[in-house]
Amino acid sequence: MTTKWTFPSENQIMMKIETFTLAGISLLIFIFTFFQLNSMFSSLIFVVIFVGLYLIIAYFTKLIRQVEEHYHLTPTHLEVTRKSRFKTKKEKVHLKKIHHWKLDSFFLGGYALSDKGKHLLFFNNKKELNKFEKHIKKHGKKSKA
């Protein structure tokens, strides 16, 4: 049984952590401008300008870099192919060599530590994350550190 997924999916606009960070910075901008200008309307305008600039810059960055990651999980190996516009990097790790992993089901990410180093993992949804976790528990080292 093999599992494959590509990150980011085509319909994904922003990652959850990016959305929360953007919301937090927008809230700080609103609070600081409100206390400086004492005007709710001006504060909202500054927040809208900030979010608009962020989305425009993020769109063009995504368009230029074209980052994509392909994950292929077999009963023996985890294969990760990281592609950007300018280079491709491949990693192949034997599941028995992964001695620790940590997954975040809220932000849909995680990492796996092996003898080769740290391998970052990104998921589009909880279903992919749960499949990976179930697979690595079944085929990886029995003792999770």
Q: pLDDT per position in the chain (145 positions), as tens? A: 677 878 877 767 777 888 999 999 999 999 999 999 999 999 999 999 999 999 999 889 888 888 888 999 888 888 999 998 889 999 999 888 888 889 999 888 899 898 888 999 999 889 989 988 888 888 776 544 4
**Crossing angle for the helix pair 40-65 and 16-37, to the nearest 10 degrees:** 150
Q: Specify burial of residue 107 (Cβ count, 10 A radius: 0-12, 13-18, 19+).
A: middle
Q: Are 49 and 25 part of one and the same domain?
A: yes
In a shared domain, residues 78 and 129: yes
What pLDDT, on the 0 to 100 scale, is given for residue 144? 46
The CA radius of gyration of the chain, in Å to the nearest whole number, is: 20
The per-residue pLDDT for 1 is: 62
Phi and psi of 2, rounded to 5°?
-120, 155
In a domain, 95, yes or no: yes
Residue 53 counted as domain residue? yes
Q: Final residue of a domain: which of 28, 46, 65?
A: 65
Q: Tell me: do 82 and 57 sit in the same domain.
A: no
pTM of the model: 0.70
The tally of CA atoms less than 13 A away on the side-chain side of residue 143 is 1
Residue 40 lies in a domain: yes
User: For the chain, how many structural domains are there in total?
Assistant: 2
Q: Is residue 145 part of a domain?
A: no
Containing domain of residue 31, as a range? Answer: 16-65
